[in-house]
Amino acid sequence: MKKSLLLIASLIAVAFPVAAQNQGVTHTGRNTGQPQYPLQSYRELDNPVAVDQAQWRGINGKHVLWGSVDERYSQEVPPQTLQGKTLDLNAWKGERVHAQFAVYGNEYIRSLKFEVSDLVSKQGDVISQDRLLKGFVRYVMTDELNKDGKSGCSNRPDATQWDSTLVADVIDHLATELEVKAYNTQGGWIRVWVPQDAKTGVYSGTVTVKNGNEILDKLVLRVHVKNHVLPSPDEWAFHLDLWQNPYAVARYYQVKPWSDAHMEVMKPIMQLYQQAGGKVITASLMHKPWNGQTFDYFESMVTWIKKLDGSWAFDFAVFDKWVQFMMDLGVKKEIGCYSMVPWALSFQYFDQATNSLKFAHTEPGEPAYDEMWTAMLRAFSQHLREKGWFNITHIAMDERKIDVMLKTLKVIRNADPEFKISMAGSLYDELVDELNDYCITMSQKWAEDIIAKRRQEGKVTTFYTCCAEAYPNTFTFSAPAEAEWLGLYAMKANLDGYLRWAFNSWVSEPLLDSRYITWAAGDTYLIYPGARTSIRFERLVSGIQDYEKIRILRQEQKPAALQRLNKALNTFDETQLPAVSASTSVNRVKAEIDRF
């Protein structure tokens, strides 16, 4: 058996994409002019949009002002939404709040830096440096919606068909200084994570912006900490399911999959998910469950072996290592195992008789399918029970039709009727009682009585967005507030949470170019290499915090305030976007929350 496993490992290693040590190349075939897969520092791609000098007329010198977290400031034009030199933010104890400033002018800045002091109250209480995230807002290449403006679903092998621009999204906490050209705008981002044990009061600090040793300006940041406490992310009720891709990390960091080096570099990346309240571990039971739709396809975390006598054997070592790793980080509510019904209906296994990898082409309802999956599920059930993970494990499917799902359910129930099952896809009446975790498209709507019944039974009821939704979404060109809008919509619709198919399925050079051969730019990932967060990821977390705050406030006996809050929340309607901007709706609700 060990010799067979070693051969299998070597065959998989050959198939794993390891790029040559040369200069980086984007999905459009463009040479980046720097080493591939940068981590600590990198140069952004050139801006394809030329500076219009007329827009800078009357702006002399270098300027620093507070901006808005609702804006992605364009590099080549002066910022329009500015808020002076003092900024006030409201926060609960335990909450993360954000601020963005803009540096702009008609003069070259050789070495832009900024420092943030501790935030101190009049009573001498301190929110210290370790509670602050500071980073430049970096620019990444993006594209646009389809020409009809109705979605981002399309084949995009030729980037010249789309308007491509640089867009502000990456929050680069690793860059200590940046060069800023004349007639350019550069943003800076500050996140304050208020300690749960902070005392109520106003905490003030100073942001000092420099060009080398020259002080360009100083800004004042005040955080008003209110007498409410937000629980830690592991206690949030919101069911967040962002599919993680460990194989993308291995490729980008150029480490062997599942080696100690791989596990080490994944820690800060997957901690971002845990700190966002991530509830589900994404596991792949077979080779290419999504037929390689991402640049780094998912390998099987289970080794399938067809023995000489025709029986099946399974090795769960990789699955165990991945799940234990994520659970040690604090993600432990659910394991989503994909997929009994892969998009290509092709199943890879190691055949002992020929000492080679082979593929079985079969589908639900066929004897070969039933036989192989029954064997696998029974072995998996026994293994999960031995590990103590059976009750949180879900056999998961993605966007499968009802006839296929019903055939698959029969196989699962025959193998072990106690298996929990999940699906992200269309709403089918036949599956409402069958699925423990059921996530449907935003365009479909759950009936209130179904939500109530499922909740009473302890089942999870959520929604998802993908390339199909023009608005709201989390593309790199989407309005930042759309990501926060999603969490508030979940509360308005009385749902348990939200699913997005790609947490970190990175494209070839994700720090430089977020475009891909299919789907609108940024659809395949929310965070960046180097455990860099993004504007859209931070705003997504803000929406989850809003959800949790409303859940807590509804327990307070304040009818008039709750009535105003519910009235503002009830205006969340995706069909009104973007005519009614996401920021308008979000800020209206946040203002009502702040009145408590």
Per the structure, how many domains does the chain have?
A: 2
Are residue 418 and residue 293 in the same domain, yes or no?
Answer: yes
Tell me, yes or no, whether 288 lies in a domain: yes
Q: In this predicted structure, what is the pLDDT of residue 68?
A: 98
| Domain of residue 94, residue span | 62-229
Q: In this predicted structure, what is the pLDDT of residue 21?
A: 53
Are residue 69 and residue 186 in the same domain, yes or no?
Answer: yes
* Residue of 546, 536, 550, 567 whose CA lies nearest to 465: 536
Tell me, yes or no, whether 337 lies in a domain: yes
| One-letter amino acid for residue 508 of the chain | S
**CA–CA separation, 130 vs 485, rounded Å?**
28
Are residue 338 and residue 423 in the same domain, yes or no?
Answer: yes
* Residue of 177, 151, 136, 156 whose CA lies nearest to 26: 156
Q: Which of 194, 214, 229 is the last residue of a domain?
A: 229
Are residue 208 and residue 74 in the same domain, yes or no?
Answer: yes
Q: Measured between alpha carbons, how far apart are the two ends of the chain, in Å?
A: 64
**CA–CA separation, 190 vs 132, rounded Å?**
7
Are residue 184 and residue 325 in the same domain, yes or no?
Answer: no
Phi, psi of 523 (to 5 degrees): -65, -25
Work out the angle between the directed axes of helices 535-553 and 559-569 (0-180°, nearest 10): 140
Are residue 424 and residue 294 in the same domain, yes or no?
Answer: yes
Task: Show Cβ contacts of residue 91 under 8 Å, excluding neighbours closer than 6 positions.
Answer: 97, 192, 194, 223, 224, 225, 226
DSSP for 55-122, written as a single string? GGTT--SEEEEE--TT----TTS--S----SEEEEEEEET-EEEEEEEEEESS-EEEEEEEEPPEE-T
| 12 three-state secondary structure | helix
Task: Show Cβ contacts of residue 29 under 8 Å, excluding neighbours closer than 6 positions.
Answer: none
Q: Which of 163, 195, 229 is the last residue of a domain?
A: 229
Tell me, yes or no, whether 378 lies in a domain: yes
Output the CA torsion 571→573→577→582 (10° steps): 50
Are residue 222 and residue 344 in the same domain, yes or no?
Answer: no
Q: Which residues pair with 500 in a beta bridge?
A: 242
Are residue 91 and residue 210 in the same domain, yes or no?
Answer: yes
Task: Show Cβ contacts of residue 39 under 8 Å, excluding neighbours closer than 6 positions.
Answer: 174, 253, 529, 530
Helix (H) or strand (E) holding 557: none
Are residue 224 and residue 286 in the same domain, yes or no?
Answer: no
Q: What is the pLDDT along the chain (596 residues), one digit of tens a residue?
A: 433 443 344 344 434 444 445 799 998 888 999 999 999 999 999 999 999 999 999 999 999 999 999 999 999 999 999 999 999 999 999 999 999 999 999 999 999 999 999 999 999 999 999 999 999 999 999 999 999 999 999 988 887 788 899 999 999 999 999 999 999 999 999 999 999 999 999 999 999 999 999 999 999 999 999 999 999 999 999 999 999 999 999 999 999 999 999 999 999 999 999 999 999 999 999 999 998 889 999 999 999 999 999 999 999 999 999 999 999 999 999 999 999 998 889 999 999 999 999 999 999 999 999 999 999 999 999 999 999 999 999 999 999 999 999 999 999 999 999 999 999 999 999 999 999 999 999 999 999 999 999 999 999 999 999 999 999 999 999 999 999 999 999 999 999 999 999 999 999 999 999 999 999 999 999 999 999 999 999 999 999 999 999 999 999 888 999 999 999 999 999 999 999 999 999 999 999 999 99
**CA–CA separation, 204 vs 223, rounded Å?**
6
Are residue 339 and residue 405 in the same domain, yes or no?
Answer: yes
Asked if residue 484 lies in contact with residue 540, where contact means CB atoms within 8 angstroms, the answer is yes
Work out the angle between the directed axes of helices 367-387 and 402-415 (0-180°, nearest 10): 50
Are residue 292 and residue 189 in the same domain, yes or no?
Answer: no
Tell me, yes or no, whether 394 lies in a domain: yes
DSSP H helices in 356-401: 367-387
**CA–CA separation, 397 vs 438, rounded Å?**
10
Are residue 316 and residue 384 in the same domain, yes or no?
Answer: yes
Q: Which of 229, 257, 274 is the last residue of a domain?
A: 229
The CATH number assigned to the domain holding 116 equals 2.60.40.10
Tell me, yes or no, whether 211 lies in a domain: yes
